[in-house]
């Protein structure tokens, strides 16, 4: 692959958008390679993903403006669909995805980060949806995900004004969970990913699905039915049997031994 690096680190993996000369802007090839990378993640081994950008200046500075500048209406729609499909794949990916936002996250870059489960950022990060300044709407889910994440009022302000916000404001409005000096960002993401990977994998996956599907449900009653089903689904798994036996049994070593090869 030309623009995507994929590094497995035990039970988690790091995807790096590697197009530093163009501030990791998303052209069709980057989107295709990201899609293929996700298809090839070994879900029997990998329990969490991190997505970041190459270098120390930019996570992703948006969709590739050069490529978009000559698109026809039909091609624009196809490009939007390509991005939407891969971002939705990420959003509904069975395992948690952490965006380690290391600089500019503009347009499609902000949208990419919002398709991830968790966003943490470097102190030099800048977020924004500058599309209306370019004569277009956000096209990779920005109008929908930003409003859901930070509320309609602040999302509308960001999108209508096309004003970028700095990391501290992104933290204040809840667009990111935490800020780190650049050199501490990836280690923090890795610590979080390995912490997630230590927990019961079926339960973690079911939590992601319950939260996502519940947020899309028509009402709280439907949402709670989704949770009930995914809660029930955890029972009779080795993870559930082990987790509860380990808590209840005074002889922890015996429990570890009994479940060693399961
Ligand atoms: N696309 C292509 N190239 C980009 C780029 C981008 N988005 N952002 C930066 N680059 C390239 C620059 O052209 C430059 O290339 P060279 O001139 O060196 O060849 C190189 O990266 C370094 O950038 P700068 O020289 O501009 O660096 P500065 O530090 O001066 O400025 C910047 C950094 C991030 C403030 C600036 O590069 C910038 O404003 N970039 C554009 C940011 C932006 O507007 N991004 C949003 C793009 S719009 C849709 C589908 C998708 C979308 C919408 C609709 N449908 C089909 C419905 C998505 C839209 C977007 O994402």
- Contact of 68 with 76, CB cutoff 8 Å: yes
How remote is the CA of residue 62 from the centroid of ligand 1, in Å?
6
Q: Which atom of ligand 1 is nearest to the CA of 77?
A: 56
> 14-47 burial by CB neighbour count: b if 16+ within 10 A, else e?
bbbbbbeebbbbbbeebbebbbebbeebeeeebb
Active-site position among 33, 111, 228, 257: 111
Q: Which fold has domain 4-197?
A: 2-enoyl-CoA Hydratase; Chain A, domain 1 (3.90.226)
List the one residue out of 25, 97, 109 whose CA is nearest residue 67: 25
What's the pLDDT score for residue 260?
Answer: 84
Residue from 3, 19, 22, 80 whose mutation best tests the ligand 1 pocket (most atoms within 8 A of CB):
22
- Of the chain, the percentage scoring pLDDT greater than 70 comes to 100
Residue showing tokens 């997505």: 51
**Confidence check: pLDDT of 10 > 90:** yes
> Quick check: is 131 catalytic?
yes
pLDDT average, residue stretch 42-56? 98
Residue from 62, 79, 108, 115 whose mutation best tests the ligand 1 pocket (most atoms within 8 A of CB):
62
Phi-psi region of 80 (alpha: psi -120 to 50; beta: other; left: phi over 0): alpha
- Contact of 213 with 226, CB cutoff 8 Å: yes
Residue showing tokens 């955890």: 234
**Confidence check: pLDDT of 183 > 90:** yes
* Average pLDDT value over all residues in the chain: 96
**Does the beta carbon of 106 sit less than 6 angstroms from any atom of ligand 1?**
yes
Distance (Å, whole) CA 141 – CA 160: 15
What's the pLDDT score for residue 81?
Answer: 94
pLDDT confidence band for 211 (50 / 70 / 90): very high
How are beta strands 4-9 and 12-17 bridged, if at all? antiparallel
How remote is the CA of residue 150 from the centroid of ligand 1, in Å?
24
Q: List, for residues 240-258, the tens digit of each pLDDT value.
A: 999 999 999 999 899 889 8
pTM of the full structure? 0.96
Q: What does the domain layout of the chain look like in residue ranges? A: 4-197, 199-260
* Token pair listed for 8: 């497995």
Q: List, for residues 105-140, the tens digit of each pLDDT value.
A: 999 999 999 999 999 999 999 999 999 999 999 999
Q: List, for residues 59-98, the tens digit of each pLDDT value.
A: 999 999 999 999 999 999 999 999 999 999 999 999 999 9
CA 128 to chain centre: 17
**Confidence check: pLDDT of 160 > 90:** yes
Q: Which atom of ligand 1 is nearest to the CA of 71?
A: 56
Distance (Å, whole) CA 111 – CA 116: 9
**Confidence check: pLDDT of 261 > 90:** no
How remote is the CA of residue 183 from the centroid of ligand 1, in Å?
24
Element (H, E) at 118: strand 118-122
Active-site position among 2, 75, 123, 131: 131
**Confidence check: pLDDT of 226 > 80:** yes
Helix residue spans in the chain (DSSP H): 28-39, 65-68, 73-91, 108-114, 142-150, 152-161, 167-172, 182-198, 201-216, 220-233, 238-248, 252-258
Residue nearest to atom 6 of ligand 1 (CA): 64
* Token pair listed for 100: 């380690």
**Confidence check: pLDDT of 103 > 90:** yes
């Amino acid at each position: 692959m030309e623009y995507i690096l994929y590094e497995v680190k035990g039970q988690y993996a790091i995807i790096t958008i590697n197009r530093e000369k163009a501030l990791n802007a998303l052209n069709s090839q980057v989107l295709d390679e990201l899609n293929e990378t996700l298809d090839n993640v070994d879900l029997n081994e990998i329990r969490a993903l991190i997505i970041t950008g190459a270098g120390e200046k930019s996570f992703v500075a948006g969709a590739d403006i050069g490529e978009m500048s000559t698109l026809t209406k039909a091609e624009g729609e196809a490009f939007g669909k390509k991005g939407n499909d891969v971002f939705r794949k990420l959003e509904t990916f069975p395992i948690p995805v952490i965006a380690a936002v290391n600089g500019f996250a503009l347009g499609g870059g902000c949208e990419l980060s919002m398709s991830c489960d968790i966003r943490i950022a470097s102190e030099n990060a800048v977020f924004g949806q500058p599309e209306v300044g370019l004569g277009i709407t956000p096209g990779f889910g920005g109008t929908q995900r930003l409003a859901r994440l930070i509320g309609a009022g602040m999302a509308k302000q960001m999108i209508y004004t096309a004003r970028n916000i700095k990391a501290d404001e992104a933290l204040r409005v809840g667009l990111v969970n935490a800020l780190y000096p650049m050199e501490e960002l990836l280690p923090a993401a890795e610590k979080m990913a390995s912490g997630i990977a230590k927990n019961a994998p079926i339960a973690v996956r079911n939590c992601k699905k319950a939260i996502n599907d519940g947020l899309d449900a028509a009402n709280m009653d439907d949402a709670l039915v989704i949770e009930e089903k995914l809660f029930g689904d955890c029972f009779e798994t080795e993870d559930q049997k082990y987790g509860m036996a380990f808590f209840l049994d005074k002889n922890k070593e015996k429990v570890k031994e009994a479940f060693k090869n399961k």
